[in-house]
Amino acid sequence: MIISQNMFCQQQPYYLFFKQNMSVINPAATGVEGPLIGLNLKSSMIGVEGAPSLQSLVYHSNFNRNASWGISIQNEKVNIESSGAATIDYSYRLQFSDDIYLNLGIKGGMFFNNIDINSIERVTPEANSALSLVNNYSNPIIGLGAFFKGKNYYIGISANNLLNSNRYKEENGIVSQAIDNGQIYTSFGFDLKITESVSFSPSIIYSLAKDIDNQMVILSNFNIGESISLGIGTSSNDNNSFQALFKGFRNIDFGVGYEMRPKNSLLNSNNIELYLGYKLNADGARKPSWERRN
């Protein structure tokens, strides 16, 4: 008998507010949106007991001497299982012109997985000896990424974890197995100016990993001035979404997103996502000594 625990074998949920949370999967995106603190909350399958819920927190510093660092924290709970990651992200910028640059990034941290076996409802009063093999665990994370920004487009590629591992534990003929596989992400987006105050910004995110289906997400945003961004999206699993982001109110961005599953889905419950971001003061960064002397 084999009992399995999975880490990255199940595809990570994507964010409707992808640009604001890109550093979670690509460390090279750290600092791209400027220095900020961002909080993202996502509830899936609304109304279903034990449904997935996801919380994430990101911090980005200002670029100083072509470098930015940040923190990415992610936590997801599905029924009795909780998993998440905490990483430190570092991005170094190669500047080619005022609006063209290449960021190279690295992330390092830990992944954790916790299964609360005491919350499992028992059919009989006898204890199940097989459950004693289901253990909580943590693993190191090392990720790499690149982010190229052109005049009106960007291209990103990253691996969220380079360390794949398999763990086995056998007791009385019962084997507990935990398989951890990272994912590769590619992303592409561009900005198209329609009028002086309206622009169109589509993005495509494609992810692939071992033993699970590849996933593609298309997000399109209409930006009205510098204050409002309205978006629609679709994914390869036939989910459709709508989102609205209100920007720049006393350095605070606030977003609401709603995702709808196809009507013929067995899990016909929708998802809601909230984003709250605070833009930090970029002028507070310490300047190099030669700039201070000038």
* Residues paired with 143 in a beta bridge: 107
pLDDT of amino acid 250: 81
pLDDT of amino acid 12: 52
pLDDT of amino acid 268: 61
pLDDT of amino acid 152: 93
Would you give the DSSP letter of residue 62?
Answer: P
Strand duo 36-43 + 271-279: pairing: antiparallel
pLDDT of amino acid 36: 93
pLDDT of amino acid 132: 57
pLDDT of amino acid 277: 94
pLDDT of amino acid 234: 92
pLDDT of amino acid 123: 62
How far apart are alpha carbons 173 and 176 in whole angstroms?
Answer: 10
What tokens does 60 get?
């980005």
Report pLDDT digits (tens) over 210-228.
777 788 999 999 999 889 9
Cβ–Cβ < 8 Å for 72, 38: no
Closest CA to 119 of 64, 78, 59: 78
How far apart are alpha carbons 183 and 10 in whole angstroms?
Answer: 10
Report pLDDT digits (tens) over 99-128.
899 999 999 999 888 876 666 666 666 655
Q: Which helix (H) or strand (E) holds 221?
A: strand 215-224
How far apart are alpha carbons 217 and 226 in whole angstroms?
Answer: 25
Q: Which helix (H) or strand (E) holds 185?
A: strand 183-190
Cβ–Cβ < 8 Å for 85, 72: yes
For the chain, residues with pLDDT lower than 70 are 1-13, 116-135, 164-181, 263-268, 282-294
pLDDT of amino acid 292: 42
pTM over 0.85: no
Distance (Å) of CA 257 to CA 5, 17, 77, 242: 31, 8, 20, 6
pLDDT of amino acid 285: 44
How far apart are alpha carbons 180 and 175 in whole angstroms?
Answer: 16
How far apart are alpha carbons 116 and 152 in whole angstroms?
Answer: 48
pLDDT of amino acid 228: 93
